[in-house]
Structure 1
Amino acid sequence: MVFKVGKGNKIRFWIDPWCGNNVLSQVFPDLFSMAAQRNVTVEDYWDQNLGQGGWNLRLLRDFNDWELGLVGNMLVELRNYRVTMEEDSVLWREGADGLFKVKEAYRVLANADGAVFPHSNVWVDKVPTKIAFFAWAATWGKVLTLDRLQRRGWQFPNRCFLCGCEEELSIIF
């Protein structure tokens, strides 16, 4: 689904796919990290006082010379979008007219080139069950590696797992 901007009061500027099929936080991650507020609506960044209206990006700091290209690219991306007096709407990306239809949803799902599990390589008689299960979980990205555990909020000591010493940059080099 994609969003069609009207008033812009229900569409989140950085997070929702409203600018084409793009989520701006993914296309411009450096600018997203500089945003003063990350959960703002499109309406919040639209400044009606700029002539016929224009985009006013509120960043935590002034951008540097080397970031000027990023801001320019983003403004080029935004140039065809304006806030209007209409209500915001949601369109289904796969529909020709933007409306959801079960027939089209079925067609999309039936033709999907989804990830196919390599069952012939994992579920074989010669591999112990626990190893096959681990390979199955790893195939789907469900193994709780250190980085995944840290994303879930687990705390670990900051030391090298090979030698047990406190982690330093000199160990890496």
Structure 2
Amino acid sequence: MATKKYFFSYGSFSIKDGSEIRSWEDKWLGNATLREQYPALYNIVRHKGDTIATVMESFPPNVTFRRDLIGPRLQSWYILLQRLSMVQLSYGSDVFRWNLHENGKFSVESMYRALIQSDVPVDNNKKIWKMKIPLKNKIFAWYLRRGVILTKDNLIKRNWHGSPRCVFCHHDETI
């Protein structure tokens, strides 16, 4: 899902037993996923969705590849093995921490702000329509992208006569 990529990019995992964190797809070892750090290995790994607990249940790690590792892939594998040897699993459930909030908990407001203030512009509307989310959310995102949400600042542009203040925060209401 396209939305999952955006969601997980604003958070990080705290490893405990490794049963909830996907070893290749989630950000847990460094500032990027193993998929992004080692693309050549990711392309030939057999079980891309394995959790850290599954991978780390034995030594060497429980990872199999569709091809032999030679040359740069073998070097990448040795580097990854060194990094994995420093990981220690413990008892308890893995925890996802939302990095956009001080308390580490997800809020729609923080996700919304991150998406609209993102440095990465949305290329076109095709990405919105391909997302696997309900249609009403796609339509809302499309309206938001076009800037036609009927917030009070847009209503005033259309000769609406009312207070521009938000009823909740008492600031001027904008998209």
Range of TM-score over shorter length: 0.5 to 0.7
Deviations 1:138-157 (A, max 9, x none): x51739xxxxxxxxxxxxxx
User: CA separation of 1:29/1:141 partners in 2, compared to 1, >3 Å: closer, same or farther?
Assistant: farther
Unaligned runs of at least 5 residues, structure 1: 117-138, 144-173
Query: TM-score, structure 2 length as denominator?
Result: 0.52
Deviation, 1:17, is 1.7
Count of residues in correspondence between the two structures: 118
2:77 equivalent to 1:71? yes
Aligned ranges for residues 153-168 of structure 1 at < 5 Å? none
Partner of 1:127: none
Deviation, 1:108, is 4.4
State the identity as a percent.
Answer: 26
Aligned mate of 2:35, from 19, 22, 25: 25
Aligned mate of 1:142, from 126, 137, 146: 126
Partner of 1:36: 46
Aligned ranges for residues 114-133 of structure 1 at < 5 Å? 114-115=120-121
Deviations 1:110-162 (A, max 9, x none): 7543528xxxxxxxxxxxxxxxxxxxxxx51739xxxxxxxxxxxxxxxxxxx
Query: TM-score, structure 1 length as denominator?
Result: 0.53
SS in 2 for 1:47: coil
SS in 2 for 1:2: strand
User: CA separation of 1:114/1:45 partners in 2, compared to 1, >3 Å: closer, same or farther?
Assistant: closer
SS in 1 for 2:73: helix
- When Rg is computed on C-alpha atoms for both structures, the one with the higher figure is 1
Q: Is the 8 A contact 1:92 1:98 kept in 2?
A: yes
Partner of 2:139: none
**CA distance in 2 between partners of 1:66 and 1:115 (Å):** 34
**CA distance in 2 between partners of 1:40 and 1:104 (Å):** 30
2:14 equivalent to 1:4? yes
Deviation, 1:75, is 3.0
**CA distance in 2 between partners of 1:47 and 1:62 (Å):** 22
Aligned ranges for residues 53-92 of structure 1 at < 5 Å? 55-92=61-98
Unaligned runs of at least 5 residues, structure 2: 1-10, 128-175
